[in-house]
Amino acid sequence: MITIEKQAASEIALSGMLYDKAHQAGMTLSAILEQINPTSPKEFADTGLDAFGRQLQRCGIVLKNDPANGIYASQGKLFFQSNVPESRILFPEYINRRINAALIARGDFLDQYIVSEWQYAQVPAFRSLYLDDTALGRKLGRRAEGAAPRIFKASWSEKHVHTEDLALEVDMSYEFIQEVSLNILDVLLTRVAMQRSLDELAEAVYVIKNGDGSGKESSGAYVDNLSDMGVTTPEGMESLQFKPYIKWQSQFYPYKMTAAIGAIEDLVDFYTMTTPTDTTYALMNTFIEASAVGGKPVFADSPFGPVVLVPFADSDILDADSILGIDKTFGIIGHRDTAIPLTETDRMIREKWQIFVISNKLGFSNLFRLATRELNGDA
């Protein structure tokens, strides 16, 4: 049991022991600072600072430019002030917060087709869910008097989720960090987060396609061939037409496809499929302004709703002439440990490094198999 004593922001003793205490409690440094020095709703509304932000302010560290008020972002050297040695303690958490904030803010890939579960350090191994999603269980209709209700079974899988550490080595020397402006460093860390998203996308697509290894969903997404949709020749995604596409989308019922993942060439063929010209359905393939959809290409006014296109280039995981469709609400769960390892945290505080490592331990588990399908270009 970790004892937390409330303190004013200026009284908190910043030391590496706080990271030890945070890991023992299964928290981030930000979370444990928040328990020590809680932020009231009014205080946050007035200043925009949480407990970690108040520690940055205490050390005179400014993260962003505010030219209207003549305030500019600090250089990284303010994390390593000889006259304020405790400022070093904040640097690993600053890195961690910027990476995770960028992942959440951008969300180009995973939030389009994933339910996420974020955990922190020293947690039990992630576990998959076992959900009974049979057609009989979903069957509609009136229940006869006295008959037992239909059962929806939810429980934990017997097996733990397989996790990978998709760690990134960041080659930014101590000397570089000291001189760079923090608003520039923020951009660089956002690019690091983007690379993490790309790595995570590959891991997620592998699990969607092949299953999560839990036993229940081991066979992965259902595979439909173009020939199953009525396309017989020639082969390739360029042969897809609107009617077979609608038929394929219908296979997702009671779910609906909200994202399509594939190679750029296949997505282009998918997006430019032959559509009717003599019915109102000709309007369904109309482009709409990027600003209306957050800059992401979609099908406008499809009978089944918009579909986000997610480019994916690794043909070793997803074959060419294949499109992976998923209902982002029901298809897959991501499990993430958001901690920086204590050994790396300690090194970032105490040493002059050339490279530091951003850990990225995560895994995926399939939720409802019927919510994921692969369309193979074979005719």
Q: What is the tens place of the pLDDT at every residue in 44-65?
A: 888 889 999 999 999 999 998 8
pLDDT interval class at 196 (50, 70, 90): confident
Average pLDDT on 13-32 reads 87
pLDDT interval class at 288 (50, 70, 90): very low
| Distant-in-sequence, close-in-space partners of 342: CB < 8 Å, separation ≥ 6 | 19, 20, 23
- The per-residue pLDDT for 146 is 67
Average pLDDT on 33-39 reads 93
- The per-residue pLDDT for 364 is 87
Average pLDDT on 170-183 reads 92
- The per-residue pLDDT for 27 is 82
Higher per-residue pLDDT: 196 or 267: 267
For residue 330 the two structure tokens come to 């029901």
CB-based contact 309:260 (threshold 8 Å):
yes
- The per-residue pLDDT for 113 is 47
Q: Which of 1-5, 122-126, 143-147 has the lowest mean pLDDT?
A: 122-126
For the chain, what percent of residues have pLDDT higher than 90?
27
Average pLDDT on 184-198 reads 88
Instruction: Give the length of the chain.
Output: 379
Higher per-residue pLDDT: 38 or 276: 38
Give the integer Cα–Cα distance in Å for 362 and 132.
Answer: 25
Average pLDDT on 248-270 reads 91
Residue/partner pairs of 298-302 with CB below 8 Å, 24 or more apart: 299/271, 302/249
Domain range summary for the chain, segments of one domain joined by +: 108-133+157-172+198-379
Q: Is residue 267 predicted with pLDDT exceeding 80?
A: yes
pLDDT interval class at 80 (50, 70, 90): very high
Q: Is residue 89 predicted with pLDDT exceeding 80?
A: yes
Q: Is residue 317 predicted with pLDDT exceeding 70?
A: yes
pLDDT interval class at 283 (50, 70, 90): very low
Higher per-residue pLDDT: 132 or 318: 318
Q: Which of 46-50, 142-146, 237-241, 307-311 has the lowest mean pLDDT?
A: 142-146
Phi, psi of 375 (to 5 degrees): -100, 110
Give the integer Cα–Cα distance in Å for 150 and 173.
Answer: 61
For the chain, what percent of residues have pLDDT higher than 70?
78
Higher per-residue pLDDT: 14 or 277: 14
The per-residue pLDDT of the chain, averaged, comes to 81
Burial (CB < 10 A; 0-12, 13-18, 19+), residue 32, is buried
Give the integer Cα–Cα distance in Å for 33 and 29.
Answer: 6
Give the integer Cα–Cα distance in Å for 254 and 377.
Answer: 24
Q: Is residue 302 predicted with pLDDT exceeding 90?
A: no
Alpha helices for the chain (secondary structure H): 17-25, 29-36, 41-47, 51-58, 91-106, 135-138, 174-179, 182-210, 242-250, 264-271, 342-350
Q: Helix 51-58 to helix 91-106 angle, to the nearest 10 degrees?
A: 130
Q: Is 88 helix (H, G, I), strand (E, B) or coil?
A: helix
User: 274: which DSSP letter?
Assistant: B
pLDDT interval class at 22 (50, 70, 90): confident
Higher per-residue pLDDT: 168 or 132: 168
| Distant-in-sequence, close-in-space partners of 113: CB < 8 Å, separation ≥ 6 | 204, 258, 259, 261, 308, 310, 326, 327, 328, 331, 332
Average pLDDT on 209-219 reads 71
CB-based contact 300:285 (threshold 8 Å):
yes
